[in-house]
């Protein structure tokens, strides 16, 4: 069966070059980089090599890079650390459309008595900067928000947000898990204090992440019990994955030269093709002008997302949905709800997220297959226009 993988915001294929770079560290170079013998010591050099490559991708100094186990750990470290440093007199500011890895720890702090403010977004998914300015009238203030949204691909105006936060004297953590590798994410150009990255969204394996901490930023470690990462993250370094991530960052830099433009063209072809080929009642969610080049979130009216996904899956097409049935709860995606997308559209939302491995042929295959699925499910739906129902 043909396989068309369009769920790259969930996870990406490990690049063959990355696997190749990792292999020696499973076979021969399996020493502990902290050891006082050549066998471990020779490995430490490769960890530092990878650190430099990660730093280069985001314009950081290698000493500002902390390796973690995943993006979720990076976010938790930043948020829990801020709570510890600034205490209950601090205000935590985030947005209603964050990933659960940010909303979860923030809401937990809210339950334990912290003042947590969740900024709203407009119908395009863009944050209310007026609300941000108002929230920042309190000090100390810790802001944690995303660079780009995982569900809609909407890019936040991070330069502007950073300017507002810094001029108000606040501390800014940015979850750049979806943005990194898809658009330039540069800490030498944008004054963020902390930034989270995840390996498996940029063609490295699952189980490796990064927290960037700008030199001079107050920091408290989350994982205790060892001197690794200069005491900022205890635990023996995951050497093969760190090496793999280094290689993936190198490839991401390469991709950023021409890749985003090509991806945006493919994504637009998919979007236009689907709108033209499917019966009416199809719309695109999120700010079309400021979106990740690889992502489209489309709503197919009168039908439900999970049913669409299963039919797509039968045809070898992998995508995801913000419908209630697939959200793991009984309510539709919190992102689409925050944007005010009506339930009838949100229930039928499908996210296609492409990667550098996506081809024009893949896109055409989805355009060719989707209309029949929409027609088939609309024929079943009591809400469809009568001419599309099977009576």
Partner 1 sequence: MWDYTDRVMDHFRNPRNVGVVKDPDGVGEVGSLACGDALKLTFKLDKDARISDVKFQTFGCASAIASSSALTEMVKGMTLEEAEKVTNRDIAKFLGGLPEQKMHCSVMGREALEAAIRNYRTGEKSKQILEGKVICNCFGVTEEEIERVVRENSLTTVEQVTNYCKAGGGCGGCVPSIQEVIDRVEVERKSAGAAAAARPMTFLQKIHLIEDTMAREIRPMLQRDGGDIDLVNVEGNKVIVAFRGMCAGCNVAQFTLKEVVEAKLREFVSGDIVVEDVKS
Whole-number Å distance between alpha carbons of 250 and 7: 22
- Does the protein bind partner 1 through residue 382 (CB under 8 A)? yes
- Closest CB to partner 1 among 193 and 304? 304
> Binding to partner 1 (CB under 8 A): which residues in 8-67?
none
> Binding to partner 1 (CB under 8 A): which residues in 92-131?
none
> Of 293, 209, 202, which Cα lies nearest the Cα of 253?
202
- Does the protein bind partner 1 through residue 324 (CB under 8 A)? yes
Tell me the site size for partner 1, rule CB under 8 A.
Answer: 28
* Binding residue (CB under 8 A) for partner 1 from 26, 30, 39, 310: 310
- Does the protein bind partner 1 through residue 330 (CB under 8 A)? yes
Q: Which of 70, 249, 278, 325 is catalytic?
A: 325
* Binding residue (CB under 8 A) for partner 1 from 6, 239, 303, 366: 303
Q: Name 353's bridge partners.
A: 7, 295
70 a catalytic residue:
no
> Of 187, 246, 186, which Cα lies nearest the Cα of 217?
187
- Does the protein bind partner 1 through residue 331 (CB under 8 A)? yes
- Closest CB to partner 1 among 63 and 329? 329
Cβ-contact 294, 153 below 8 angstroms = yes
For strands 320-321 and 349-353, give the pairing: antiparallel
At 250 the three-state DSSP class reads helix
Half-sphere exposure of 48 (CA within 13 A, CB side): 9
| Smallest separation, CB 379 to partner 1 (Å) | 7
At 1 the three-state DSSP class reads coil
> Binding to partner 1 (CB under 8 A): which residues in 336-375?
343-344, 347
Whole-number Å distance between alpha carbons of 175 and 308: 30
- Closest CB to partner 1 among 87 and 385? 385
Cβ count near 257 (within 10 Å): 8
- Does the protein bind partner 1 through residue 224 (CB under 8 A)? no
Whole-number Å distance between alpha carbons of 337 and 79: 24
- Does the protein bind partner 1 through residue 6 (CB under 8 A)? no
Chain positions contacting partner 1, by CB under 8 A: 302-307, 310, 313-314, 323-326, 329-332, 343-344, 347, 379-383, 389-391
């Amino acid at each position: 069966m043909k396989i068309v993988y369009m769920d790259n915001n969930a996870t990406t294929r490990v690049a063959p070059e990355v696997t190749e770079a990792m292999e020696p560290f499973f076979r021969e170079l399996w020493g502990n980089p902290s050891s006082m013998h050549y066998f471990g010591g020779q490995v430490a050099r490769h960890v530092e090599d990878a650190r430099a490559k990660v730093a280069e991708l985001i314009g950081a100094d290698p000493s500002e890079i902390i390796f973690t186990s995943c993006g979720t750990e990076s976010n938790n470290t930043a948020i829990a650390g801020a709570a510890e440093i600034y205490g209950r007199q601090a205000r935590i500011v985030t947005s209603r459309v964050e990933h659960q890895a940010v909303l979860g720890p923030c809401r937990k702090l809210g339950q334990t008595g912290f003042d947590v403010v969740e900024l709203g977004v407009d119908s395009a998914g863009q944050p209310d900067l007026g609300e941000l300015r108002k929230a920042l009238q309190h000090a100390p203030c810790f802001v944690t928000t995303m660079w780009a949204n995982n569900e809609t691909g909407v890019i936040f105006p991070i330069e502007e947000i950073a300017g507002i936060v810094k001029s108000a004297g606040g501390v800014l953590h940015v979850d750049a898990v979806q943005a990194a590798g898809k658009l330039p994410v540069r800490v030498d150009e944008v004054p963020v204090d902390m930034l989270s990255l995840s390996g498996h969204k940029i063609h490295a394996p699952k189980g490796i992440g990064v927290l960037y901490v700008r030199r001079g930023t107050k920091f408290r470690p989350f994982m205790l019990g060892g001197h690794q990462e200069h005491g900022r993250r205890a635990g023996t370094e995951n050497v093969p994955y760190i090496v793999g991530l280094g290689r993936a960052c190198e490839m991401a830099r390469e991709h950023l030269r021409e890749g985003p433009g090509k991806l945006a063209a493919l994504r637009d072809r998919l979007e236009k093709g689907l709108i033209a080929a499917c019966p009416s009642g199809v719309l695109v969610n999120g700010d079309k002008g400021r979106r990740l080049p690889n992502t489209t979130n489309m709503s197919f009216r009168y039908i439900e997302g999970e049913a669409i996904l299963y039919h797509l899956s039968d045809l070898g097409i992998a995508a995801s949905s913000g419908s209630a049935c697939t959200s793991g709860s009984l309510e539709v995606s919190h992102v689409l709800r925050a944007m005010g997308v009506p339930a009838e559209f949100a229930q039928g939302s499908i996210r296609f997220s492409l990667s550098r491995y996506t081809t024009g042929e893949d896109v055409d295959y989805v355009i060719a297959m989707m209309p029949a699925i929409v027609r088939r499910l609309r024929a079943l739906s009591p809400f469809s226009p009568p001419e599309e129902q099977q009576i």
